[in-house]
Amino acid sequence: MEQHAAVASPEITFPHEPASSTKRVWKVFWILLIITMVELSFGFTIYFIHKNPNFNEHLVLAFKGTIVILSLAKAYYIVSVFMHLGDEIRNMIMTIVLPLLLFIWFIAAFLWDGYAWRNLKNKFNRDLPQQTQPQPEGRKPGALD
């Protein structure tokens, strides 16, 4: 007879039933592996697109955006299944997940700022020492500043 673990703490009202098999773990392993393979194939696609000097920038951006979404999917599976957050009660999940929404603003604001900074430098400070590269052809100076 297999014995089960005791409840870890008197604070816990409803102990989780331990998983009877490791099927779910291996399923998530295959999902993570396949997503990583797809990400790598997109990475190689970008590599070959870059070989053409007149490559389509929007196509590269579309591939990069898809890779970002796939990485978020990987994060979801790791947190939800491997870290068992999906098995916790809803209030607990929300105290972890809701603060992370701040990242939406962080990413939007800081990337926008970086882009505006580049445009300002290109427009006004052409001789700054850290400005090692001339701005590429066709980029409109002064956008977003």
Partner 1 sequence: MSTTVPAGYKWWSGGKSPFNVSYGKLMMWYFLMSDTFTFGAFLISYATIRMSQNYWPDPNHVFNTFPGFGHTNLPLAFVSLMTFILIMSSVTMVLAVNAGHHMNRRGVEKWMAWTIVGGLAFLGCQAWEWTHLITGEHAVLINGKIQEISTTVKGNPWGPAVAGLMHDGHQVNTPGPIAFGGFFFGITGFHGFHVFSGVVINLIMLIKTKLGHFEQRGHYEMIEKAGLYWHFVDLVWVFVFLCFYLV
Site for partner 1 in 110-129 (CB under 8 A): 110-111, 113-115, 117-118, 121-122
3-state secondary structure of 27: helix
Q: Does residue 96 touch partner 1 according to CB under 8 A?
A: yes
* Residue 48, both tokens: 């070959």
Tell which positions 50-79 bind partner 1, by CB under 8 A.
Answer: 50, 64, 67-68, 71, 74-75, 78-79
The site that binds partner 1 (CB under 8 A) totals a number of residues, namely 76
Q: Which residues contact 102 (CB under 8 A, 6 or more apart)?
A: none
Per-position x/- string for 22-51, each x denoting binding to partner 1 as judged by CB under 8 A, each - no binding: x--xx--x--xx--x--xx-xxx-xx--x-
Minimum distance of partner 1 from residue 8's CB (angstroms): 4
Q: How far apart are CA 130 and CA 106, in angstroms?
A: 25
Q: Do 144 and 115 form a contact (C-beta atoms < 8 A)?
A: yes
